[in-house]
Amino acid sequence: MPVAVSDFSKDAGYEDAGAVFFDADDDGDLDLLVASGGYSLNPQALWLRPRLYLNHGNGWARDSFPDVRINASCVTVADLDQDGDQDIFIGERVTPGRFPESSGDRIFLNDGKGHFSDRTTQFLPDHATLGMVTQASFQDLRGDKVPELVTVSDWGAIQIWEKDRQGTFRNASEKWGTLALTGCWTALAPADLDGDGDMDFVVGNMGTNGQWYLTAPQGMNLYADTHSTVPPVPVVALLDQGKEYPYPSRDELFGQMPELKKKYPDYIGYSKATITDLFSPDRIGKMNRKEVREFRTGVLENSGGTFRFRALPVQAQFAPVYALAVADFDGDGKLDIMLGGNQDKARVRLGKSDANLLQVFLNRGTAGFEYMPQALNGLFVQGDVRSLLVLNKGSELAILIGRNDLPLKTLQIARKR
């Protein structure tokens, strides 16, 4: 079947951040929604518009979609109003130019024919508290056929949102035990990992092989004045024995906040300064504060209404994870985990991460996940992996690997029996 690509080609200039195939117009074929991003763009830029492409059998054509601008990170669909058609959630990574601010997440309802309307204020009025969303998934965690919204975020918690009686999504993270799981979460993959019938998740994080963790394994906070119109200056504070020390050097910070120069005329004074020395309680109280207490990539195990976090083995923590895949790689009937990641373009002081050549962790049941040595898994995939997709082909698995600025790579894995 020939597929016309003209509308796709026309839109090739977008920086796509998330996409999903689903039957938007209920005609039995899959349509495509694509959301894009761009941190340095004007928040009203046309490049931040999500696009709906309808499948017309012999080709694809861009169709109408609400005219919104989102610096998107992810797109996911589910029937949110139980009327039989698929509705949409688009997560926003961060407001363009205003890290760590983010409030652009949206919910769109389907009228059954592929016409969508922005219903965020009705279904998700508290969406600004989702934080800097990186991935989202709708899953029925309570077994009542009504999906819950699960999100992970950068500098924030793993969040679970349940619908209340009025049909509005409300934050239920405390009940589910994920409120304190703050991290620089990058990836989320739902799967029933222990085979007990309920949904568990793999969650990707920055790992423990970075300068931040090595300096401050207890965690860190992030402060920024986001209430004014000037671009915020985010300040990372590293925790040490209950005190918070600014991560930026004196020159780095004072380059952005010259008013502090008078207070700390020399380096020695600055080296002992804590966040509460730098900023008044009044100013701190008004700041947007975020935190990270968990650096590790791991598994969220669903145990009847609460989630328990279990970190994956130390090898999983060698590099930041940006892509997850779950499949039975060794053919023993239990779901295993593949991790991809790395970060080549990092700030000089933080250094680049390239320790992940694609890793496999085999499911050993109650014994947890076991690292499969690189020499045995046969994988040697370099680069910044940003997406992993596993296609089941009987006795073989095909793995599609999306990397930054590199061509798509495909691997075939023959499952051992």
Give all strands (DSSP E) within 155-250, no chain letters: 156-157, 159-163, 169-171, 182-183, 187-191, 200-204, 220-224, 235-240, 243-246
How far apart (Å, rounded) are the C-alpha atoms in residues 191 and 140?
Answer: 12
Give the C-alpha separation, 383 to 385, whole Å.
Answer: 6
* Cα 255 from Cα 257, distance rounded (Å): 6
Q: How far is CA 161 from the centre of its chain?
A: 16
7, 277, 328, 370: which one binds Ca ion (CB under 5 A): 328
Asked if 7 is part of the footprint of Ca ion (rule: CB under 5 A), the reply reads: no
- Closest approach, Cβ 359 to Ca ion, in A, equals 15
C-alpha torsion sign, points 113, 118, 119, 123: positive
Closest distance of CB 181 from Ca ion, Å: 17
Q: Please report whether residue 111 would count as binding Ca ion according to CB under 5 A.
A: no
CB nearer Ca ion, residue 199 or residue 206: 199
Per DSSP, the chain holds a count of helices (H) and strands (E) of 9, 29
Note whether 387 and 247 are within 8 A (CB): no
370 binds Ca ion (CB under 5 A): no
| Interacting span for Ca ion (CB under 5 A) from 59-67, 199-207, 273-281, 348-356 | 199-207
Segment interacting with Ca ion, rule: CB under 5 A, options 25-33, 36-44, 210-218, 246-254: 25-33
Residue corresponding to tokens 């690189």 = 374
Quick one: 225 or 370, whose CB is closer to Ca ion? 370
Least Cβ distance, residue 312 to Ca ion (angstroms): 15
Q: Which is nearer to Ca ion, 14 or 108 (CB)?
A: 108
| Position 31 contacts Ca ion (CB under 5 A) | yes
What distance lies between CA 113 and its chain's CA centroid? 30
Count residues binding Ca ion (CB under 5 A).
22
Rounded to a whole number of angstroms, the minimum distance from the CB of residue 79 to Ca ion is: 4
CB nearer Ca ion, residue 200 or residue 244: 200
Task: Pick between residue 21 and residue 39 the one whose CB is nearest to Ca ion.
Answer: 21
Please identify which residue in 111, 174, 192, 252 interacts with Ca ion, judged by CB under 5 A: 192
Here the tokens at position 77 are 């669909």
Cis peptide before 100 (omega within 30 of 0): yes
Residues of span 277-306 touching Ca ion by CB under 5 A: 302
- Cβ–Cβ under 8 Å, residues 350 and 206: no
Contact region for Ca ion (CB under 5 A) — 9-17, 165-173, 265-273, 331-339?
Answer: 331-339
Amino acid at 62: R
Closer by beta carbon to Ca ion, 33 or else 287: 33
Q: Contact with Ca ion (CB under 5 A): which of 25, 92, 105, 148?
A: 25
Residue 82 beta carbon to Ca ion: minimum distance, rounded to whole angstroms: 7
Q: How many alpha carbons fall within 13 Å on the CB side of residue 327?
A: 24
Task: List binders of Ca ion among 126-155 (CB under 5 A).
Answer: none
Please tell me the distance from the alpha carbon of residue 370 to that of residue 262, in angstroms, as a whole number.
54
Distance CA 397, CA 401 (A): 13
- Residues of the shown chain interacting with Ca ion in the complex, contacts defined by CB under 5 A: 23, 25, 27, 29, 31, 79, 81, 83, 85, 87, 192, 194, 196, 198, 200, 302, 328, 330, 332, 334, 336, 363
